[in-house]
Chain A
Amino acid sequence: MDPIIELSKVTKTYRSKGKAVLALKDVNLPVERGSFTTLIGPSGCGKSTLLKIIAGIALPYEGRMRYKDREITSINTDIGFVTQDSNLFPWLTLIQNVELALKIRGVARDQRKRTAQKYIDTMQLSGFESHYPFELSGGMQKRGSIIRTLIYDPEIILMDEPFGPLDAQTRMVLQDELLRIWDSNKKTILFVTHDLTEAIALSDKVVLFTSRPGTVKRVFDVPLARPRNVFEIHNEKGFNEIYHEIWQYFKTEITI
């Protein structure tokens, strides 16, 4: 047990139209180093807000958050954030987008071009280096947004429903690619989704949130063996059992 992040009693209130809205209430959550953890819950339950708090871009909050052995009180640049929209900068070409973090961190031009090219090649984006985002498909943009985060080797990668807007096939391909990347570098990933199948297919732990104000309802260990075949995840041994178990708790949080 070596939690890289430890949240205790994290509570977040924000103001909306003059009223105080309680988004998160007393969230306690240890995130183990090198683990793949998924936060799941009904929409509007504050999962995304929690990611922003961890990244240090939704300050202030109440409660405590420890990262390694320090308290987080400002933006944490050891983190990589993959947003729901790809958010590649439209004025930069693919390779310029990918190398942006290295440019910001003062890496020499030649070296950052080389590194960016390496990532582009591993994501099968070769040939599109000098394309602008609008010339790329949704899946390619998403790949770009993932590698522009990987390139600066963050300790933790936060992913906020990154595959939400994609079609089912592209989604599975990218889930598969993500698992392979994670397998090879064992970074800590904290992944937000509202898709239970996706949560089970990807993670070691599924953290179920209640509806607003969001708090941890229950944590499930996913017993499926790795490597997993995301394309036929339903056939993996133990899938149905864990799906059924989580769903029993999940369904009571969903009101339409």
Chain B
Amino acid sequence: MDVEDSTRSNSSQEAATTFHPELQKSTLIHSPGFLVLLPGLITVIGWEILAWRWPIVAKLVSRPSDVTRGIVHVVWTGEIWQHLEATLTEMAVGYLIGALSGVSLGFLFGRVKLLGEIFNPYISLFNGIPKVALAPVFVIWFGIGLMSKIAIIMTMVFFVVFINTFAGLRSINEEYVSITRIMGASRWQVVREVFLPATLPFILVGLRAGIPFSVIGAVVGEFIAATKGLGYFINYHQGTFDTNGIFVGVAILAGLVVVLDGLLSIVERRLLKWRPEVEAKNVSA
């Protein structure tokens, strides 16, 4: 979204300067790139004013300037790094294992018809279980260290990637498969030429949805029992009634999700440039 909106506003600005310099101002105001920032700005400014006018507000929800100061402080003193490192490690390992097993098993169950049919109800059942509810069990099994968080994240990411891959394989146009087989493709060539590219959009949806899940998994695991991590950081400040500290942790987590999602959306755009919806947006930009 962000990348796209900024390119859109850039190109309209360029067009404006090239052809009608006098229109530049109005173009800027009307471009969605600027409008996107408005609600955020209004909220932050309003929040700051309310907190300044009524101190109780600042006590309950802190205020933007303090949160910013808090972030700068924890970065400057280096206090945040061990927490960030712990959370990122859990996320990276859990996410990778979950995503890889989700894609592989999604392929297996999606293409081996009998397996898919036998396990379909179980898949729906397990998908219905809120995975965070399993977090306490994982802590019992794997202790309060890295392993229990990795297990939680893995489970959450696995399911969202698995379900999407599975759905993708089930939606494949069988005529593509027939055409490719008639051309002389081996089983492996059908996988490479049809199954993989046709399923890719679904896999990417799963991978993108997996990012916030991996953050949730890490934080929940750290809430339950941990000695470091951003969830621990937030939990610790809750213990000391330090709302500002909580908001510092939350802001860092939110930033993390935005950055990771942005990276993956760039990858997605590259890989899926054959899709009309993506292309159409680029054309209008």
A residues near B, CB below 8 A?
52, 55-57, 75-77, 79-81, 83, 85, 87, 89-93, 100-101, 103-105, 132-135, 152
Other 12 A-B pairs with CB < 8 A, given A57-B181, A100-B193: A55-B178, A55-B182, A81-B179, A83-B175, A87-B179, A90-B274, A91-B274, A103-B193, A104-B185, A105-B183, A132-B279, A152-B183
Interface segment out of the listed B21-29, B158-166, B194-202, B247-255: B194-202
Assess whether B141 is interfacial by the CB under 8 Å rule: no
- Shortest C-beta distance, A83 to chain B (Å), equals 5
Q: List 11 A-B contacts (CB under 8 A).
A: A55-B178, A81-B178, A81-B182, A89-B176, A89-B193, A91-B274, A104-B180, A104-B185, A132-B273, A134-B274, A134-B279
Q: Which residues of B contact A93 (CB under 8 A)?
A: 274
User: Which residues B116-174 have CB closer than 8 A to chain A?
Assistant: 173
Q: Across the interface, do A77 and B175 meet the contact criterion of CB distance under 8 Å? A: no
Q: Which residues of B contact A92 (CB under 8 A)?
A: 197, 274
Q: Which residues of A contact B184 (CB under 8 A)?
A: 77, 101, 104-105, 152
Q: Which residues of A contact B78 (CB under 8 A)?
A: none
Roughly how many angstroms separate A77 CA and B200 CA in the complex, as a whole number? 28
Q: Across the interface, do B274 and A100 meet the contact criterion of CB distance under 8 Å? A: no
Q: Which residues of B contact A87 (CB under 8 A)?
A: 173, 175-176, 179
- Shortest C-beta distance, B200 to chain A (Å), equals 7
Q: Which residues of B contact A91 (CB under 8 A)?
A: 197-198, 200, 274
Roughly how many angstroms separate A104 CA and B194 CA in the complex, as a whole number? 12
Roughly how many angstroms separate A87 CA and B194 CA in the complex, as a whole number? 12
Roughly how many angstroms separate A104 CA and B173 CA in the complex, as a whole number? 19
Interface majority SS (helix, strand, loop, mixed), chain B:
helix
Assess whether B40 is interfacial by the CB under 8 Å rule: no
Query: Which residue of chain A is the closest to B196 with respect to CB atoms?
Result: A91
User: Which of A76, A90, A133, A135 interacts with B182 by CB under 8 Å?
Assistant: A76
Q: Which residues of B contact A90 (CB under 8 A)?
A: 274-275
B residues near A, CB below 8 A?
173, 175-176, 178-185, 189, 193-194, 197-198, 200, 273-276, 279
Q: Across the interface, do A77 and B182 meet the contact criterion of CB distance under 8 Å? A: yes
Query: Which residue of chain A is the closest to B283 with respect to CB atoms?
Result: A135
Q: Across the interface, do A104 and B183 meet the contact criterion of CB distance under 8 Å? A: yes
- Shortest C-beta distance, A145 to chain B (Å), equals 9
Q: Which residues of A contact B194 (CB under 8 A)?
A: 89
Roughly how many angstroms separate A90 CA and B40 CA in the complex, as a whole number? 38
User: Which of B176, B182, B200, B274 interacts with A57 by CB under 8 Å?
Assistant: B182
Q: Across the interface, do B179 and A104 meet the contact criterion of CB distance under 8 Å? A: no
Roughly how many angstroms separate A152 CA and B279 CA in the complex, as a whole number? 31
Query: Which residue of chain B is the closest to A89 with respect to CB atoms?
Result: B176
Roughly how many angstroms separate A197 CA and B183 CA in the complex, as a whole number? 31
- Shortest C-beta distance, A59 to chain B (Å), equals 12
Q: Which residues of B contact A56 (CB under 8 A)?
A: 182
Roughly how many angstroms separate A146 CA and B271 CA in the complex, as a whole number? 27
Q: Which residues of B contact A135 (CB under 8 A)?
A: 279
Query: Which residue of chain B is the closest to A87 with respect to CB atoms?
Result: B175
Q: Which residues of B contact A81 (CB under 8 A)?
A: 178-179, 182
- Shortest C-beta distance, A248 to chain B (Å), equals 35
Roughly how many angstroms separate A83 CA and B274 CA in the complex, as a whole number? 21
Residue of B173, B178, B179 contacting most chain A CB atoms (<10 Å)? B179
- Shortest C-beta distance, A53 to chain B (Å), equals 12
Q: Which residues of B contact A75 (CB under 8 A)?
A: 181-182
Roughly how many angstroms separate A93 CA and B197 CA in the complex, as a whole number? 13
- Shortest C-beta distance, A57 to chain B (Å), equals 5
Roughly how many angstroms separate A83 CA and B175 CA in the complex, as a whole number? 8
- Shortest C-beta distance, A105 to chain B (Å), equals 6
Query: Which residue of chain A is the closest to B182 with respect to CB atoms?
Result: A81
Q: Across the interface, do A85 and B274 meet the contact criterion of CB distance under 8 Å? A: no
Q: Which residues of A contact B173 (CB under 8 A)?
A: 87
Q: Which residues of A contact B279 (CB under 8 A)?
A: 132, 134-135
Roughly how many angstroms separate A101 CA and B193 CA in the complex, as a whole number? 11
In the A-B complex, the 7 residue pairs with the closest CB atoms: A101-B183, A77-B184, A134-B276, A91-B197, A132-B274, A91-B274, A57-B178
- Shortest C-beta distance, A51 to chain B (Å), equals 11
Q: Which residues of A contact B175 (CB under 8 A)?
A: 83, 85, 87
Q: Across the interface, do B200 and A79 meet the contact criterion of CB distance under 8 Å? A: no
Roughly how many angstroms separate A56 CA and B197 CA in the complex, as a whole number? 25
Roughly how many angstroms separate A152 CA and B182 CA in the complex, as a whole number? 11
Q: Across the interface, do A104 and B193 meet the contact criterion of CB distance under 8 Å? A: yes
Q: Which residues of B contact A89 (CB under 8 A)?
A: 176, 193-194, 197-198
Residue of A55, A91, A134, A135 contacting most chain B CB atoms (<10 Å)? A91
Q: Which residues of A contact B273 (CB under 8 A)?
A: 132
- Shortest C-beta distance, A160 to chain B (Å), equals 10
